[in-house]
Amino acid sequence: MTYAIISDIHGNYDALSAVLGDIMRSRVDRVVCLGDIVGYGAEPGKCIAAVQGLDGWTVAGNHDHGAIGQLDPSYFNANARRACEWTAAVLSAADRRYLAALPLQRRIEDGDRRCIAVHSTPLRPEDWHYILSIDEAEYQFEQFGEPVCLVGHSHQPVFWQLSPAGECSIVGREYLRLEPGRRYIINAGSVGQPRDGDPRACYALCDGDRRELVIRRVEYDIGAAQKKILKAGLPPRLAERLAHGT
Ligand code: ZN
């Protein structure tokens, strides 16, 4: 089986449609979506419809919960809160029902291969913590039993590995070969608002049989996404940052 792992779309349909084109050409068996379908970008409804149409395995992110009133707005900074309120006002009742029904985490099994998918962290995903340091990654490895945990949330692709000796380290940000006996936390980056300095849309392709995972970067019409954000009256910073990948 081959998988596409997409995360943090954030209402950026221009980025999502470019990524879905790339996924179609890669003949993927299944799409895993790690949440934050909405928030920041100007086309949340179109992004929800597209993700729904994939019939993949999807979990909820903090912005998905924020847009349906399941997360206190004080959690967000000013721009994110403004985007959250704007998104809440434009979602349809069906969109809200869809987001409300998403689980916080999912266990995925493919033969003898198992993984867990979650937006933030395997321990208390509803607290929306970030995995940003080796110490945090090491602690989170103790909170799940599967060989692999897929996460999003930070908008930065990175692979953490736990060796059989219990040593935790970063083993790459672009290509990963999954070695037997080792465990991994894999951040697939962000489709709609990358924050690693590369403005291209980001997602991961995984070949389960070859035990390989690669981060893909896809060009898209950033100018079109920016114009829609400004036209919607969303904070200009949300448009500007797309050009820099920050
Ligand atoms: Zn996000």
8 C-alpha vs ligand 1 centroid, how far in Å? 5
58 C-alpha vs ligand 1 centroid, how far in Å? 14
List, for residues 51-85, the tens digit of each pLDDT value: 999 999 999 999 999 999 999 988 999 999 999 99
CATH code of residue 130 = 3.60.21.10
Q: With 0-12 CB in 10 A as exposed, 13-18 as middle and 19+ as buried, what is 24?
A: exposed
* Between 110 and 198, residue with greater pLDDT: 198
Confidence at 162, pLDDT banded by 50, 70, 90:
very high
Question: What domain count does the chain have?
Answer: 1
- Residue range of the domain that includes 33: 2-243
What does pTM read for this prediction?
0.97
241 C-alpha vs ligand 1 centroid, how far in Å? 14
* 112 pLDDT higher than 80: no
* Between 111 and 46, residue with greater pLDDT: 46
CB 193 within 8 Å of CB 12: yes
Closest CA to 222 of 201, 208, 197: 201
Section 28-43 average pLDDT: 97
Q: ∠ at Cα 128 (122, 129), nearest 5°?
A: 75
Q: ∠ at Cα 228 (224, 229), nearest 5°?
A: 115
List, for residues 171-218, the tens digit of each pLDDT value: 999 999 999 999 999 999 999 999 999 999 999 999 999 999 999 999
